[in-house]
Structure 1
Amino acid sequence: MSHRRLLQESNPSEENQQVIDSIENWINSQNYEFLTIVNVGSWSEKSVREMATETNELELYNYFYQPFSNVAHNSWSHVAKYNLAGSDNPLHKFAKVPAIYKYYFDFYYMDLAMKYVDKMFQKFDAVLKVKIDGMRAREIFYEQISKIDID
């Protein structure tokens, strides 16, 4: 969320402020953000965010690394959204209870993953001066998807 706060400072918008407020409200409904200090350390003595900033890849960190890291490590921000529901019992003070929802396939996350994997491959190719004359994986995927007969 810090990337949204920085964006709001440099380029204020009502829409971004609403997103910030919504995220803060959700976090505070789980645990008070101002009471939570997270320091997990790093092998490089730099956070992944700092390394992303140094390499001009902060967008990659903010919109890909962080959300997918939450999923991979079962972070509370993922578990609480996708695997918990509020108890209907008022005696439980509406505590969170485990929930397994039936989800349907969503191309959004596949597209998001493919978008940033493609960006990483492009960066790799540029740094190592690798020339690829063929189609990129994301282009091939969408070409194949367009051939599927839905009817």
Structure 2
Amino acid sequence: MDDRYEAVGKFASAICQNILANLNERTENFRLGDGFETTTNSVFSALIARQSALALGMAESPLTWSGHIAPVILRSMVDLLITFRWIAINPRDRSIEYVNYGLGSEKLLTSHYQKQIEDGTDDDRIRKIAEANFAWIESQQFHIFVEVKLGSWAGTSIRKMCEETGDKDLYNFAYVPFSAAVHNMWNHVGKWNARTCDNPMHKQHSVGVIADAWPIVDFMFRACKYLELTLEAFDKFYEFRSDITPPTQEFNEHIEQLGASWNSVQSSSDEGAERV
């Protein structure tokens, strides 16, 4: 194995261990907050687990540290951070709205499956999916009382949510740029999947390409950052004090070692090429 990849693996392993440690500290034997605020506690605990899962997925898969995959994951992490902060302003009502919208969306999906079955689709897999979805909804709320709502679950735009939480920069410099990757807009595709044709007679049209730029460790830093900001919002809400190293600090403690190992291998490779 190339020593560079081994160095990346060691770096990623340290980040993974830190992510899990931070999550476990806050979710094992969960005894924070008002015990009667079941929905709020459930939502916040699940959201930090989701954010940790996204960061962990990136750390476990270093090949995602490119402009092709990482921005899609980071956009989801930014979205979650905004959601968490916005719910925390009015936790009781907004956590209920958040859950009810999700249940309504699942009810609508289940009804589509049931319609296929009623129309004569003879597929046992669809029937099992519909039954599992129905059971999941019923485990939380009687199916007949679940309301299906369309549009934004929050009833407002992401931009306004950021304004309300006091972080417009998060919208301008993270949510919007990463959205370009999610929606395959030209200001992403044109940078990462297009190059100018070599033939000057072709009017400088673009040719499809998969840009080879890896590893971009800043993407992993951003994942650590958005996870840390979410954990900070969690800790602030529950007045919790953590003894675990924050994700960005863990990143900074290991990134120099990764850089030194990577550059050392690269230097040795260049020297060998010169001898040849």
- Structure 1 segment 26-105 matched on structure 2, within 5 A: 42-105=152-215
Q: Contact 1:64/1:116 (CA < 8 Å) preserved in 2?
A: no
Give how far 1:136 is off: 0.8
SS at match of 1:74: coil
Report Cα offsets for 1:82-135 as digits up to 9, x if no partner.
111123445543222201222131222222332233222212221232221221
Other structure's SS at 2:222 match: helix
Question: Which of these residues, 117, 128, 132, is aligned with residue 242 of structure 2?
Answer: 132
Number of matched residues?
Answer: 111
Of structures 1 and 2, the one scoring higher in RCO (CA 8 A, sep 6+) is 2
Structure ranking higher in helix proportion: 2
The alpha-carbon distance between structure 1 residues 147 and 108, as it changes in their structure 2 partners (threshold 3 A), is: closer
Deviations 1:40-60 (A, max 9, x none): x74434221111111112122
1:112-123 equivalent positions in 2, closer than 5 A: 112-123=222-233
Structure 1: gaps (5+ residues): 1-40
| Structure of larger gyration radius | 2
The one-letter amino acid paired with 1:129 is E
Match of 2:251 among 132, 136, 141: 141
1:109 aligns with 2:209: no
TM-score normalised per structure 1 = 0.59
Instruction: State the AA in 1 paired with 2:190.
Output: A
User: Quick one: which amino acid aligns to residue 72 of structure 1?
Assistant: V
Per-residue deviation, residues 13-69 of structure 1 (Å, max 9, x unmatched): xxxxxxxxxxxxxxxxxxxxxxxxxxxx74434221111111112122222222223
- Residues 105 and 123 (structure 1 numbering): CA distance in 2 closer, same or farther, change over 3 Å? same
Is the CA contact 1:86–1:97 (under 8 Å) kept in the aligned structure 2?
yes
1:95–1:45 Cα change, 3 Å: farther
TM-score of the superposition, structure 2-length normalised? 0.35
Once the two structures are TM-superposed, the CA of residue 81 in structure 1 deviates from its matched residue by: 1.0
Instruction: Please tell me the residue identity of whatever aligns with 1:141.
Output: F
Q: Residues 64 and 113 of structure 1 are in contact (CA less than 8 Å); yes or no, is this contact kept in structure 2? A: no
Q: Which runs of 5 or more residues in structure 2 are unaligned?
A: 1-150, 265-276
- Please give the alpha-carbon distance, in whole angstroms, between the structure 2 residues aligned to 1:42 and 1:89: 47
1:127 is matched by which residue type in structure 2?
Answer: F
Q: Is the 8 A contact 1:87 1:97 kept in 2?
A: yes
**Does the C-alpha gap of structure 1 residues 122 and 100 become closer, same or farther in structure 2, counting only changes over 3 Å?**
same
Within 5 A, what are the aligned runs for 1:13-28? none
Alpha carbons of structure 1 residues 117 and 58: separation in structure 2 relative to 1, 3 Å: farther
Q: Secondary structure at the match of 2:244?
A: coil
